[in-house]
Amino acid sequence: MEMFQQPFQDILDQYVSCQIDEEEMLTRTDYRRRWGFDPSLYRDIWSFAKDRGIRIMAINISSELLQRIRKEGIEKVRDESLPFPMIPQTEKEIKELREFLKTHPKVDEKRFFDVQNAWDNGMALAIARLLDKYPDYKIVVLVGRGHAQDYENGIPRRLRMLKPNVRMRILRREEFHRALLFSTDFSKESSSASSMREPNCRP
């Protein structure tokens, strides 16, 4: 999930394993400050994952890393959560970002481009690592649609560059303005979401 940052993976694991409740999970992941959107938008998703024992993975890069990138420039920052060398933005991506900036004239263009590219690179790398670590599982990725407009932009393009043989499909539910990007490198039997297991957390 884009909604959680990678340094807080242990907290998500504790939530899914029933060691902490939702409020503690949100507090300890600093969700309200780092993401900020109403938790009710995603509650059904992480509650379902917890009930079924499906691991929730934090794929977003940290706010601290973004601050370094804003301050130093993406070309000067090296971090284990970013690929090296970084995958640059395409002319199409740059054009679309400049169109967006027309409605935000006070935003510094270089910093804005750097942050967007860091997000796409960092999340693509996180997904690639998950595919390597869990080759027999379905990987479902929830991200804002700006990160997965199509296969030639954003996360999908970078993921394909990191893992050339990856198979993926983008699904959109326009009424929610969200995008689902997921790999289809899995067998039907490996999908924990389709299992009929008992609820993970008992009262």
pLDDT tens digits for range 15-51: 999 999 999 999 999 999 999 999 999 999 999 999 9
Query: Any idea what DSSP says for residue 92?
Result: H
Q: Which one-letter amino acid corresponds to residue 31?
A: Y
User: Can you give the length of the chain in residues?
Assistant: 203
pLDDT of residue 142: 94
The two three-digit tokens of residue 32, written as one number: 């309200």
The two three-digit tokens of residue 184, written as one number: 């289809």
Share of the chain above pLDDT 90, in %: 78
* Closest C-alpha to 120, from 76, 88, 163: 88
Rg (CA), the chain: 17
CA 133 distance to own-chain centroid:
16
Residues of the chain whose pLDDT is less than 50? 175-180, 182-196
pLDDT of residue 127: 98
What does the alpha-carbon distance between residue 137 and residue 2 come to, in Å, rounded to a whole number? Answer: 19
Query: Any idea what DSSP says for residue 60?
Result: B
Angle, CA 2 vertex, CA 198 and CA 101 arms, to 5°: 155
Alpha helices in the chain (DSSP H): 9-16, 22-28, 31-34, 43-52, 63-72, 91-101, 109-133, 154-162
What does the alpha-carbon distance between residue 11 and residue 168 come to, in Å, rounded to a whole number? Answer: 28
HSE-CB for 17 with a 13 A CA cutoff = 7
